[in-house]
Amino acid sequence: MKKILLFIGLILFGLANAQNELSKCKFNYELELEKKIENKQKNIYNAVFKWDFSKLNSNINISLEIVPIKDCMNDINSQNNKETVILSNTDEKFKLKDTWEFGIADLQTKCFKWRLIIFDKNISCKEITEWQFVTFTNN
């Protein structure tokens, strides 16, 4: 009985340490979002994503999820959303170092939320950023 309990304890200890190792994975990349004035009189902005994923190895999946929100009053928690736009390194046109500028006309909404998902297939390591809320207006 003691051997069984010791064996179970060792397994649980190993699993706990394995999960700690997975959560400590670090990816070397740069990603920023700037708001650029489009129409000064109407206080309307464009969003500009700038990224550099060139330091990541080729086994990594990158997905930038952008969710246009129809109900800007509820910020990130809105349930009234349009179809998610996904920029991914699996797309042929995706560049590891690039910028993308878009605005109200592109998403057909006044606001959106976004997050980044990076997954290393070799070591089963995943990083998911928190959702960020952005509005194209200053209201």
Q: Which residues of 96-116 are buried (b: 16+ CB within 10 A; e: fewer)?
A: eeeeeeebbebbebbbbbbeb
Domain with 121 in it: 2-135
Residue-wise pLDDT tens digits, 66-79: 999 999 998 889 88
Query: Which pairs count as long-range contacts for 40-45, CB under 8 Å and 24+ apart, including other chains?
Result: 42/137, 43/137, 43/138, 43/139, 44/103, 44/104, 44/136, 44/137, 45/103, 45/136, 45/137, 45/138
Q: What's the pLDDT at 92?
A: 93
Q: What's the pLDDT at 79?
A: 87
Report residue 3's pLDDT band, with 50, 70 and 90 as the boundaries: very low
Q: What's the pLDDT at 53?
A: 96
CATH of the domain at 18: 2.60.40
Residue-wise pLDDT tens digits, 10-65: 455 554 444 434 456 889 999 999 999 998 888 899 999 999 999 998 889 999 99
Q: What is the DSSP letter of 15?
A: H
Half-sphere exposure of 41 (CA within 13 A, CB side): 0
Report residue 1's pLDDT band, with 50, 70 and 90 as the boundaries: low
Higher pLDDT, residue 124 or 62:
62
Q: What's the domain count of the chain?
A: 1
H/E element holding 32?
Answer: strand 30-39
User: What is the mean pLDDT of the segment spanning 76-102?
Assistant: 94
The pTM for the full model equals 0.78
User: What is the mean pLDDT of the segment spanning 78-96?
Assistant: 93
- Which residues, other chains included, contact 77 with Cβ-Cβ below 8 Å and sequence gap of 6+? none
